Amino acid sequence: MSNICDLNRRYYELIELLKKDIPQVVIRALKEDLGGQIDVSNDITSNLLPTNIKAFARIITREVGIFCGKRWVKEIFNQLNQNITIIWHVTDGQKITPGQLLFEIEGSARILLTAERTVLNFIQTLSGISTKVSYYASLLKNSSTKLLDTRKTLPGLRTALKYAVICGGGINHRIGLSDAFLIKENHIIAIGSIKKAIKKAISIFPDNLIEIEVESIDELIQAINAGAHIVMLDNFGLEEIHQAVKFNKGRVILEVSGNINDFFIKNIAKSGVDYVSVGDLTKNICSIDMSMRIKIK
């Protein structure tokens, strides 16, 4: 099975999922702010303004980063009022610098003020992830090792966060439990052995990618012999990682995971493993500082 083909399939599946997920997550976010229904009149502070006042807003960044979130911004104003004009000065995946103008919005002052926090919540969060991913990816720049995310995402925002990973230069691991096997320690314990687990996986879905987590060189040997496609070296030390690469000789794809930091990842890249997966990319989110400045027309 071609791992490249599988990654390409996963990317296009994510893009298709976003078409459905973005409207749904934006609707939930707006309802959360507007008392359970998307009705601008429920924003009691914005009711201080007359309905006919028009405004112009500029959204800027106060920090260096990688921008992400255009699709969510568009959907927010689509849900609130389609008579809003957005002028874009950045695109997803683009590097941004302090003070840079990201986009401009023109339309009802009430709509702009009601949308402000929801807009910023999305672009600050998604850009924060893209920025962190870009940093980690830069540490692997001169190696053949690729950066993967994990399923350690905020509930309800899986596809959004995985899209942000792509914008930062990373690669998506499984989108969910249904698109590939990842046989972990507890699965092996429940089934009885690595060999039994892989044999069962092949018998159920022979065309699916089979990845298995191992915790020692002995378990790596068992996984290779049983027919795994990818072996995740879980919490291996650097010496063990080098031993695994030497023993493997390219027979299976090797992925390293567990307690990855910026120092460790540089050394992992020197070992020659294929992938390193980092839960921190989408688990510990540090938003990018952005703001909206408004002028009444």
**Residues labelled catalytic:** 117, 152, 184, 213, 234
Closest C-alpha among 245, 231, 190 to residue 3: 231
Task: Name the residue with tokens 């459905």.
Answer: 20
Report the DSSP beta bridge partners of residue 190: none
- Alpha-carbon dihedral sign for residues 205, 208, 209, 213: negative
Q: Which residues of 98-108 are buried (b: 16+ CB within 10 A; e: fewer)?
A: eebebbebbbb
The answer to whether 173 touches 150, Cβ cutoff 8 Å, is: yes
Instruction: Collect all residues with Cβ–Cβ distance below 8 Å to 140 and sequence separation of at least 6.
Output: 146, 147, 265, 269, 276
C-alpha to C-alpha distance for 231 and 198, rounded to whole angstroms: 11
Instruction: Count the residues in the chain.
Output: 297
